[in-house]
Structure 1
Amino acid sequence: MDKQHAQQQWQQAVSAYAQAINHYVAQGRAHGWDNLEEPAAPTTEHLLPAWQAALQAINQPGIDEPQCQAFRAAWPPAHQPLLPLLEQHGQGIANVLLLDDGSLLARIGMPYDKGQVVRIEGRSVTPVIGVEHFGRCPQRRYFALANAECVRITDGWGGPQVARLAWPHGLEGLPPGYPFEPFDLPPTPTSLVPFPDGQRVLLVSSEGIFVLASDGATRLLRDEQSILEDLVEGIDPDDIALGLSMEHGAVSADGRLIAVGDQCTRHLVFDEHLQRVAEIGPGGEYPHFALFNRRGDHLLLNACHFYNGGTLGVKTADLPGLDTEYYSDDPRTPLVEDGARVYAGVAREGEYIIGDAHGYLRAFAEDGSEHWQHYLGSTISAMDISADGRTLVAASYAGFISVIALDSGRPDWQIGTGEHGEVRRWLFWKGLDKPLAW
């Protein structure tokens, strides 16, 4: 098959499938899903060699932006046609940040992978040397940069260092007098969140959740009381599980509240003095994700069951003393989204945008009213949004980073109900000589 014929087939198949899915969703939402048959995906695997050759060609030196835009129009981005390649090439992307100059930071590989931190500027990708994990405070000012030695806090990306924090030794918050062992190596961060004052960092890891400060680390999970209860029951210290699964955490915009959890706890909220102020029963089996809105007066809490979940919304004014059980019908913890297992999310004015396990970005108001959905494919692993709320970046376990211009209009190849257009998609695939821009 010649290149032009393959390109035309790809363009027609991708656009027709997206339009068919969008029509199917519109019909189902308007009239119900009974007697509706989901459109079948087109056969496109035979087009992959031509697509790969064209993608490699557009990533050669000397290609300008108009040529890139022409390529995207000719070979519109899609997820379904690439499924045959993902098992070999796909990989998770643990973290992405959109810097104020328009460049991107990304950690290629999940936290437990060796991974690499890169900076993406325009169409160039540069490794960031000496940084293995990173995070940014809710006010976007301070950055946490971590390697095996320590966690540094800088005032701005590339700015002066304002704090140097030691890793936990592992015995913090453990009952004294018992033969617990310190860490052999520093914890591997699931996430790092500097506080807005630039002096502390919330460290989320499978070895524990800690707040790092100049005078040492404080353990939030597992908490000492639950460990003491295990000891009272006669469990040998060597058999007490201190590790966490589905660990997560968030810091409010003003730094006065910290929401944390893992699959074995309720949702826990601490104040700035690290005193527990709330325990909230989840809307699913296993607490999985937490996110404060931009104003800091509302908190989103997700819990999962398999690849689905339930998300609660809580006003922070209601948090002091709040104590609810699993699946509570307390009016202070309403279910605002039913269905998504959330791995990543962001907030803009009046709106949460979450990424789920099925490859969708889902947007809704703080009261739960649905706004839109936008399909990328694969499980969404990381997200960020610009300060003005106009640019969204989302990464996936398929090795994609998608840069989306929100409210800019929806191209005919995009599956979704929102008026949003992707402007670039990066492929950070295993087995490639270099990342490829689509």
Structure 2
Amino acid sequence: MDKQHPQQQWQQAVIAYAQAVNDYVAQGCAQGWDNLEEPQAAATEHLLEAWLEALQAANRPGVDDQQRQAFREAWPPAHQPLLPLLDEHGQGIGNLLLLDDGSLLARIGMPYDKGQVVRIDRHGVTPVIGIEHFGRCPARRYFALANAEGVRVTDGWGGPQVLRLAWPTGLEGLPPGYPFEPFDLPPTPTTLIPFPDGQRVLLVSAEGIFLLTTQGATRLLPRQARVLDELAEGIDPDDINLGLSMEHDAVSADGRLIVVGEQGSRHLVLDDQLRPVAEIGPGSEYPHFVLFNRAGDQLLLNACHFYSGATLGVKVADLPGLDTDYYSHDPRTPLVQDGARVYAGVARAGEYIVGDAYGYLRAFGEDGTEHWQHYLGSTISALDISADGRTLVAASHAGFVSVIALDSERPAWQIGTGAHGEVRRWLFWKGWDKAMAW
């Protein structure tokens, strides 16, 4: 029987496993992976009760930052020891924004979950009443705030309302004269992106992708041409699937380019008048994610197959008229990352940071050079980065929200190859009456 205190056992197990994994990765990268044995974590399930008691104690009213930091050092954060609890308590966090004052805005639950929007700051977690979904423009100024009544656009978080937009009816962009049914309920946003001028909002949902303006909604996907083709084939309107899977989008920082896609189509690039600019075949089976770089002169295009994927990089200058097929070897669409099924991503100067299906944050250059990786655990569900590129926030399907100081110092318990240090982690777990800071 181990006579060490549970806290010491936890600390030693977590740090030893992280160091073993980091050594394993370093060896594999340096000399190849043949004959390397993957590290195994020490048994820690018997420590979970003591960990939970210590976590709850560190989150009682009156506990100051110094005491919480002492808890964090005594019980270093980790993912692997919590695996026995995740089936019951873990949940995805579908949206996450880092506000300019350092606080966080998060939607607990994935878009299809009932969910709750909260504001997170150093004092704790506060529910945001009256907002079910939110988004921010790529220039960081305008916010879209949605509930059952419609979508409001505000100038800044908590700022004045500049626009109010109605939900689509569901009949937009469908051929007239056919018995298509309107939406019973407003579509559930996967993402909401206000344009940099605050006058339009891109609504992406499993029910369709729409551009919302004060004049009404315009359907971007599925396209009318596809619906007309199916009608021409004699398919009954009731049997035409207007839903989308793996729907994704990006708006350029100047608002001049819109990129949309879903698993059954190529990546579609439109200009601000909704005229086609490019159609780009994916580098893997199913188009999944798109992102502009920080400078706005390159577009990242990810497609997935099971838990893996491939990511292409395309210069914006090469987009006009670009028309490539699946798995094209066109030199204008080079592969810049191989392996990641990307669920979320951000960009800073010269670097992309993406979150994959295996719980890793992966950073690479615009030319595809691998920079670093950082392990959080479970599928990464949301990411955001500060305007200065120094603070990254990440969320996962384990119910974690992690605040990471980039280019700082990697703690001994962190699995990863970069010098980045997490400064705070929150657990938003099902069945708990409140979130816990770790």
Q: Which amino acid aligns with 2:71?
A: F
SS in 2 for 1:407: coil
Deviation at 1:3, TM superposition (A): 11
TM-score by length of 2: 0.99
Q: What corresponds to 2:377 in structure 1?
A: 377
**2:274 matched to 1:281?**
no
Q: Which amino acid aligns with 1:182?
A: P
SS in 2 for 1:212: strand
Distance in 2 of aligned mates of 1:361 and 1:238: 42
Distance in 2 of aligned mates of 1:2 and 1:415: 26
Q: Which amino acid aligns with 1:399?
A: G
Distance in 1 of aligned mates of 2:378 and 2:257: 32
1:317-332 to structure 2, matched below 5 A, reads 317-332=317-332
Q: What corresponds to 1:55 in structure 2?
A: 55
Distance in 2 of aligned mates of 1:261 and 1:306: 18
Q: What corresponds to 2:296 in structure 1?
A: 296
Q: What corresponds to 1:436 in structure 2?
A: 436
Deviation at 1:383, TM superposition (A): 0.4
Q: Which amino acid aligns with 1:15?
A: I
Distance in 1 of aligned mates of 2:355 and 2:42: 25
Q: Which amino acid aligns with 1:206?
A: A
1:148-159 to structure 2, matched below 5 A, reads 148-159=148-159
Q: Which amino acid aligns with 1:120?
A: I
1:259-270 to structure 2, matched below 5 A, reads 259-270=259-270
Q: What corresponds to 1:242 in structure 2?
A: 242
**2:130 matched to 1:136?**
no
1:97-246 to structure 2, matched below 5 A, reads 97-246=97-246
Deviation sequence 1:44-98 (CA, Å, 0-9, x none):
0000000000000000011111111111111000000000000000011000000
Q: What corresponds to 2:66 in structure 1?
A: 66
Q: Percent identity?
A: 81
Give yes or no for contact 1:123–1:437 (8 Å, CA) kept in 2.
no
SS in 1 for 2:254: coil
Distance in 1 of aligned mates of 2:123 and 2:227: 50
In structure 2, do the counterparts of structure 1 residues 3 and 263 end up closer, same or farther at CA, with 3 Å as the change threshold? Answer: farther
Instruction: Please identify runs of 4+ aligned residues in structure 1 that moved more than 4 A.
Output: 1-4
Give yes or no for contact 1:93–1:109 (8 Å, CA) kept in 2.
yes
Deviation sequence 1:160-197 (CA, Å, 0-9, x none):
00000110001111111111111111000000001000
Deviation at 1:4, TM superposition (A): 7.1
Distance in 2 of aligned mates of 1:145 and 1:341: 28
SS in 1 for 2:340: coil
Distance in 1 of aligned mates of 2:215 and 2:155: 20
Q: Which amino acid aligns with 1:341?
A: R
In structure 2, do the counterparts of structure 1 residues 155 and 3 end up closer, same or farther at CA, with 3 Å as the change threshold? Answer: farther
**2:38 matched to 1:38?**
yes
Distance in 2 of aligned mates of 1:158 and 1:234: 51
Deviation sequence 1:250-301 (CA, Å, 0-9, x none):
1001000011100000111111001111110000100000111122111111
Give yes or no for contact 1:3–1:50 (8 Å, CA) kept in 2.
no
Q: Which amino acid aligns with 1:214?
A: T
SS in 2 for 1:342: coil
Distance in 2 of aligned mates of 1:431 and 1:386: 31
In structure 2, do the counterparts of structure 1 residues 3 and 384 end up closer, same or farther at CA, with 3 Å as the change threshold? Answer: farther
* Gap regions ≥5 residues in structure 1: none
Deviation at 1:199, TM superposition (A): 0.6
SS in 1 for 2:5: helix
Q: What corresponds to 2:95 in structure 1?
A: 95
Kindly tell me the number of residue pairs found equivalent between the two proteins. 438
SS in 1 for 2:373: strand
Q: Which amino acid aligns with 1:33?
A: W
Q: What corresponds to 1:82 in structure 2?
A: 82
SS in 2 for 1:218: strand
Distance in 2 of aligned mates of 1:284 and 1:332: 16
Distance in 2 of aligned mates of 1:3 and 1:30: 39
SS in 1 for 2:347: strand
Q: What corresponds to 1:419 in structure 2?
A: 419
Q: What corresponds to 2:308 in structure 1?
A: 308
Distance in 1 of aligned mates of 2:252 and 2:8: 49
Distance in 1 of aligned mates of 2:325 and 2:242: 23
Q: Which amino acid aligns with 1:289?
A: F
Distance in 1 of aligned mates of 2:4 and 2:117: 37
SS in 1 for 2:15: helix
Deviation sequence 1:210-231 (CA, Å, 0-9, x none):
0100101111100011111111
Q: Which amino acid aligns with 2:375?
A: Y
SS in 2 for 1:408: coil
Distance in 2 of aligned mates of 1:158 and 1:48: 40
Distance in 2 of aligned mates of 1:2 and 1:45: 14
Give yes or no for contact 1:210–1:219 (8 Å, CA) kept in 2.
yes
CA RMSD of aligned residues (A): 1.1
Distance in 1 of aligned mates of 2:2 and 2:219: 61
Deviation sequence 1:369-415 (CA, Å, 0-9, x none):
00000000000000000011000000001100000000111011000
Deviation at 1:123, TM superposition (A): 3.6
Distance in 2 of aligned mates of 1:417 and 1:123: 31
SS in 1 for 2:193: strand
1:318-357 to structure 2, matched below 5 A, reads 318-357=318-357
Higher deviation after alignment, 26-35 or 175-184? 175-184
Deviation at 1:2, TM superposition (A): 10
* Gap regions ≥5 residues in structure 2: none
